[in-house]
Structure 1
Amino acid sequence: GNDSGENSTWSPLGPALRGSIDGNDQFGGSISFNDDGTLLAIGAGNDNINSEGAGRVSIYEFDESLGEWIPFSDDLLGSTTSAFGSSITLDRTGSQLVVGAPESDRKGSRSGEAFLYNL
């Protein structure tokens, strides 16, 4: 059930986060955050920043004093046409991240890979 009340409204937590100006990177195609909502991982499975269709994952931390999301670390980048970041999951504490790259060819054509990171 909904116990938030009939007149409840959603309000944004900081300004919107956006993908690259090149477009078609699918920024936001996968999203995960930790239990307290202070860390946010955003996948862009078709990002071309590293190479064509390599993909990227950006991780942000909410800064309450600024009221905005700031980069938590360098972006994680995939290999050519791997679609790295098409699926992502942060654990409850935000200390581990799993990233899927379903189009990776390292073990055979489009065999896929999953990567585990400690943050």
Structure 2
Amino acid sequence: MKGNPQLIDTRSATVELVSPELIEVRFKPEVKLDVQGLGEIVHAKNHLGQGLNPDVLAVAPPELDFELNVLHMDHAVGHGVKCNSNRLAFAAQSEKKKEETAVFLQEKDARAWLVAKVKERPLS
């Protein structure tokens, strides 16, 4: 990790303390995100947010590629750090995608979202 006190550059992303309330993580294009790379990001986020409880805005480039195993672990616990943030907003940018997309932590929440969307406008 390289950087100044407000910005840390990792192999997979830049991690920036924008304010005491917000850390921004900007994933790098053309880098395949793996567990080790996400661990570097988690450590950078915790270093910048020491003594704070900042929210996190994670911004992915349209072509973000990642190993599936990054989805199935608690990265703070897996990398031996205590989570110091309350909320995470993940922006997956894609100009090609036309469908509504949402990310959920629980299957029941995903199902409820789909049911609500069908009630708003039935599929043709």
Q: TM-score normalized by structure 2?
A: 0.28
Higher relative contact order (CA 8 A, sep 6+): 2
Q: TM-score normalized by structure 1?
A: 0.28
Q: Which has the higher strand share?
A: 1
Q: Which has the higher helix share?
A: 2
